[in-house]
Structure 1
């Protein structure tokens, strides 16, 4: 294609990627680089992906282009997958223990790095890049809407909404965050209560935001047409170039090699045997989960509803297989995007992480939203109220709010009723959003144009 040929270059470029050590932060960066390399946006590129030793053990053996290499640094705590037990302690360690080993790695790399792409939360990566005169692209792993919330967080205090008792005022709606439509307080990232944990995490978040103007680029793994108002606001307010380079999901590998392990073959074969649009795909993410009481209610509701399902559940597989009956499958892992794109899948029950949100939108499926923490509440609101391609499962606040099996049964039967006018309208809107995503990545689309412009910028910076 003409646009792709214009963006390709023979200039050698060595990019160092420094993600926050979490799957939702690592995956979109990996997908970005795989796309840049497989699409030949930059030729003669070397990518050094810096991860902790534990994350290297999880992703180091995954298939990747030859010019992506992994480089490890020591874990920040003995077992990083225990970070949910002491999330604040884990964040403190990331913010205070990773800068020196990262700088030491940069000093040893050959050829010398020409660009750092670092997670926006890792403020010290910008500091190191500036100190070594290496350009830095700040990679924000969430929606642009959530970026605007933190960029304008002082507005909550100015309007008497920080700190605030969300149990009393959670239903109150505000419309003063630039680029974001009227939103209830409970649908913003859950830091408005001002408790000690929130205050500590906000300090680190604001530290990251204070370094954004010191970076040379800001990258959003989003598609402009999904968040046009907020992206326009940020481009007007910030002086550095902003690129929407989404979706940063592995869509470019769909249709490639068939899965080789028997478990993957079995769940795809099972999906092949189900009627079109009849299967509900369920995943609550890879980090925090819902309570065991809520898991039991979901399982009972699925069983009583008779809805077909494919459920990816961490650590609960054996138990759930016994409870859920014969209407579906319970797995500990699947190729999520392939599943969502399968003709038999008619809906996605999700925790509303931004990666899962983008994959569901790209697949054109409607959502049942069950947010747990951080940005997930605002993502849920956007899907349900702004895009109108989903329904809420959980309407109350907090992880401990339990949705009963009878509520779940009623919701599932309505949601998976492909003949109802309401469900048809929602699915039609989901298809329209899918078409917008496809147009964005096609030749001349917004994402393809943004990626080409970013590539041109970093190549010119390197050659000069």
Structure 2
């Protein structure tokens, strides 16, 4: 008698930060919509923050949520400065808890776990999966171009390109990242590249190690499309052959929701902050393409002086703006209150936005952004040009691609004085330059939308991922 095939059940484990959570939650919902059982594993801290923010997680029969401790004290911050600390704590403390979770008998009718999809910052989970005989896929949520640069760290060290040393010209083009030799400057590399003093720099070693480790998983998932990053994807495939380019995931998900007739009935959000939906009514009252939307993401922090320079530049530009200022964005919350008290009629400040809806709104003319990958993809799919001020990690490289490769915005990297802010806002919003950026952004949006339509490259990759998960699940020997 033929053996009965295992029911695919995917355990998805995101890194506990807003960007990875957004991205991997969308993949989880997609996999559940197409008929796979999915468990999303969050940390207890993330679960609590989702509850406090009134997040509306999708209620799908094949999707459930579990949580485990991250191993850090409850009162310890989980901000950008502790990114590696959180990852190392999770890598150290999750193995035993995760093993118990995978092996436990389900009381809600879910079959045993047959496959893991884990954030690439958690390589210990890849090892655990192999130990217990489960296939594991690694998922990195930044851009492919940044991941390719991270994979090149050993070569850059070997060739003496890194570390930079004192007094170097940061506008000099970097040699040693194939495909980017003509335009990637030292200035465009992440802060842990630029600040490394030697080959043993802990941040540089951590990023090189976890990125290389993705090649040890059964496959490597990227939230991108070859329309945007074909060169970087092909270089990554030279080192990690089983790579899936399945993005933009948020747009694929919207397409599936629409096909299921659940778009209006599914206002799902995995936001760690309470969203201010009233800003959408304010946008309704503004003329088309008249508003600068400003958001520096979930982890960026500003010095008081930086905040004031951005504010002054926005006000002096004469354009209306909608600005997201998180409560934890600056150390002096009183300064945010002072900004709000002096706010002109043209401006509106909120603590967090329903960003996809804001970017899709007809009133938004450009996006002043930190160039996080989720934000970049959301802006691209809506055809909104970007003014980039990157903060850290992949954002530095993303902003260079926006300005120099895709030509859909400007890069304000390393600059934040009011004169430059005003000048660049005007370039993005006024006259022939604004018209050129908007046309380029519309053309790029059309090309990316084709990649997620029937027959498009990203949709084909997503279908390949599903079939490979089913195939891997069938091969698992369950106890």
- Work out whether the TM-score is over 0.5: yes
1:205, CA displacement in angstroms? 2.5
Count of residues in correspondence between the two structures: 441
Give CA deviations for 1:39-96 in whole Å, capped at 9, x if unaligned.
x3xx2x2211111111012235523123221111113322464434544433432332
1:258, CA displacement in angstroms? 8.9
Residue 19 (structure 1) aligns with: 14
- Native 8 Å contact 1:54 1:80 kept in 2: no
Sort the Cα spacing of 1:403 and 1:213 in 2 relative to 1 into closer, same or farther, 3 A.
Answer: closer
Residues 1:151 and 2:163 aligned together: no
Give CA deviations for 1:115-148 in whole Å, capped at 9, x if unaligned.
1000112110110110011011110111111111
1:445, CA displacement in angstroms? 0.6
- Native 8 Å contact 1:366 1:427 kept in 2: yes
Sort the Cα spacing of 1:152 and 1:132 in 2 relative to 1 into closer, same or farther, 3 A.
Answer: same
Q: Answer 1 or 2: higher relative contact order, Cα 8 Å, separation at least 6.
A: 2
Give CA deviations for 1:155-208 in whole Å, capped at 9, x if unaligned.
222332211137523111024312335210110122233248982123322332
Aligned equivalents of 1:370 and 1:166: distance in 2?
A: 24
Residue 444 (structure 1) aligns with: 455
Sort the Cα spacing of 1:359 and 1:198 in 2 relative to 1 into closer, same or farther, 3 A.
Answer: farther
Residues 1:56 and 2:67 aligned together: no
Partner-residue secondary structure (3-state), 1:324: coil
Residue 102 (structure 2) aligns with: 106
Aligned equivalents of 1:118 and 1:349: distance in 2?
A: 31
Q: 1:115-194 to 2 correspondence within 5 Å?
A: 115-165=115-165, 168-182=168-182, 183-192=184-193, 193-194=195-196
- Native 8 Å contact 2:91 2:125 kept in 1: no
Residue 246 (structure 1) aligns with: 247
- Native 8 Å contact 2:321 2:347 kept in 1: yes
Give CA deviations for 1:271-303 in whole Å, capped at 9, x if unaligned.
111111111110011113221211111112222
Sort the Cα spacing of 1:431 and 1:304 in 2 relative to 1 into closer, same or farther, 3 A.
Answer: same
TM-score, with length taken from structure 2:
0.86
Residue 322 (structure 2) aligns with: 310
- Native 8 Å contact 2:275 2:354 kept in 1: no
Partner-residue secondary structure (3-state), 2:168: helix
- Native 8 Å contact 2:275 2:351 kept in 1: no
Partner-residue secondary structure (3-state), 1:173: coil
**Structure 2: gaps spanning 5 or more residues:** 269-273, 328-332
Partner-residue secondary structure (3-state), 2:64: strand
Aligned equivalents of 2:83 and 2:452: distance in 1?
A: 36
Aligned equivalents of 1:216 and 1:299: distance in 2?
A: 47
1:36, CA displacement in angstroms? 3.0
Partner-residue secondary structure (3-state), 1:256: coil
Partner-residue secondary structure (3-state), 2:249: coil
Aligned equivalents of 2:473 and 2:424: distance in 1?
A: 54
Q: 1:19-418 to 2 correspondence within 5 Å?
A: 19-38=14-33, 40=34, 43=35, 45-59=36-50, 61-64=55-58, 65-78=60-73, 79=75, 81-84=77-80, 86-108=82-104, 110=106, 111-165=111-165, 168-182=168-182, 183-192=184-193, 193-195=195-197, 199-239=201-241, 241-249=242-250, 252=254, 256-257=264-265, 264-315=276-327, 318-394=337-413, 396=414, 403-417=416-430
- Native 8 Å contact 1:271 1:342 kept in 2: yes
Sort the Cα spacing of 1:124 and 1:46 in 2 relative to 1 into closer, same or farther, 3 A.
Answer: same
**Structure 1: gaps spanning 5 or more residues:** 1-9, 397-401
Sort the Cα spacing of 1:32 and 1:319 in 2 relative to 1 into closer, same or farther, 3 A.
Answer: farther
Give CA deviations for 1:191-235 in whole Å, capped at 9, x if unaligned.
233248982123322332343232111110001110011112222
Q: 1:418-437 to 2 correspondence within 5 Å?
A: 420-437=431-448
Aligned equivalents of 2:364 and 2:351: distance in 1?
A: 18
TM-score, with length taken from structure 1:
0.89
Partner-residue secondary structure (3-state), 2:192: coil
Sort the Cα spacing of 1:265 and 1:283 in 2 relative to 1 into closer, same or farther, 3 A.
Answer: closer
Sort the Cα spacing of 1:368 and 1:80 in 2 relative to 1 into closer, same or farther, 3 A.
Answer: farther
Aligned equivalents of 1:302 and 1:390: distance in 2?
A: 17
The range that moved more, 356-365 or 288-297, is: 288-297
- Native 8 Å contact 1:16 1:116 kept in 2: yes
